[in-house]
Structure 1
Amino acid sequence: MAYIRKEFMIDNSPENVWNALREVGDVHRRLVPGFVTDTRMEGDTRIVTFANGVVVHELIVDIDEAARRVAYAVVGGSMAPRHHHASMEVLAGSGGRSRFVWTIDVTPDELAGPIDEMAEQGAGVMRETLKATPVPTGR
């Protein structure tokens, strides 16, 4: 099983970053606009369309308000791993900034490269999107 971890600082408060992350059905507007072109919810499953054409179905496993953590698993779509579980967590950093931790477990190992590349791109978009105060809304 491959393990991918992205950890980075965001020039915004943990409260503002969490406010964007917790809106799991609005990531194409609030978290990674342009990188994700559409998001829609079907029950507890999020259908995510990426700019590169990949579509994934993600089961939202947990939205933990106290821990500021979202957990999800890819359960279908055009990229169908045998196993995928990920979490995104917002922690307090120094100077009012946020530390963002994104972990992904995936099999088969051959998917680690493409998923790591997409996660790296997504992390860059998140840093830029979330550094603004307040975090942009889609409403």
Structure 2
Amino acid sequence: MATASASIEISAPPEQVWQLIGGFGSLPDWLPYIPQSELSEGGRVRRLTNPNGDTIVERLIAFDQAARSYTYAIVRAPFPVTNYLSTIRVSETGGGRSRVEWSGEFTPSGVTEQFVTQLFQRIYTDGVNALAARYAAKH
């Protein structure tokens, strides 16, 4: 099982950051890589489209409003992995600041562990950096 993670501190209260990113269908609001998200099955499945037109289908596994986190699994995607499970979490760091963490674990499929670890490390890092930029622009 391979893992990757990224985190960033944002100068805003966690409640405000969670309001922006906490919805399972909210990725297009802050992640440039995902311009489209459609929810189905009562909001528990999201069908994402990336800029290349590839489809990614993910299922919500756990959602905790009080802890400001959710965990999801990939059902179908153009990524060379299986058993993908990821969590996004917003926590308070004090002084009206937040820490956003995005982490995942997965099994490589037909590629090296190093390849998929670097792939998801880049996705998570680009994602939290885009969130910080988007949040600063919108708030």
Q: Supply the distance in 1 between the matched residues of 2:37 and 2:104 (Cα, whole angstroms).
A: 20
Helix, strand or coil at the partner of 1:20? helix
User: Tell me, which stretches of 5 or more residues in structure 2 are unaligned?
Assistant: none
CA–CA separation in structure 2 for the residues paired with 1:122 and 1:20: 13
Aligned to 1:113: 118
- 1: distance between equivalents of 2:25 and 2:76? 17
Q: Identity percentage over the alignment?
A: 23
Number of aligned residue pairs: give it: 132
The one-letter code sitting in structure 2 at the alignment partner of 1:35 is: Y
Structure 1 contact 90–100 (Cα < 8 Å) conserved: yes
Aligned match of 1:61: 61
Deviation at 1:114, TM superposition (A): 1.6
Name the TM-score, length of structure 2 as normaliser: 0.85
1:21-73, Cα deviation, whole Å (9 max, x unpaired): 221112202x22x3211111121211122235443111111220111101111
Specify the SS of the correspondent of 2:26.
helix
In the alignment, is residue 129 of structure 1 matched against residue 107 of structure 2? no
Partner of 1:94: 94
> C-alpha separation between the residues in 2 aligned to 1:52 and 1:115?
17
Query: Any idea what SS the aligned residue of 2:35 has?
Result: strand
Pairwise CA RMSD: 1.8
Aligned 8 A contact 1:16 1:133 in 2:
no
| Residues 53, 117 of structure 1: alpha-carbon distance in 2 compared, 3 angstrom cutoff | farther
- 8 Å CA contact 1:84–1:104 kept in 2: the answer is yes
Task: Indicate if the aligned counterparts of 2:86 and 2:102 stay in contact, CA closer than 8 A.
Answer: yes
CA contact (8 A) 1:13 1:96 kept: yes
Q: Which amino acid aligns with 1:72?
A: Y
Give the deviation of 1:127 after TM superposition.
1.0
CA contact (8 A) 2:92 2:99 kept: yes
**Cα shift readout 1:74-103 (whole Å, capped 9, x = no counterpart):** 111322521100101110013201011111
For structure 1, the residue ranges without an aligned partner over 5 or more in a row are 135-139
Distance in 2, matches of 1:133 and 1:126, equals 10
Distance 1:111 1:90 in 2: 24
Counterpart residue identity of residue 123, structure 1: V
Please name the residue that 2:38 is paired with.
Answer: 40
How far apart, in 1, do the equivalents of 2:97 and 2:138 lie? 11
AA partner of residue 112 (structure 1)? T
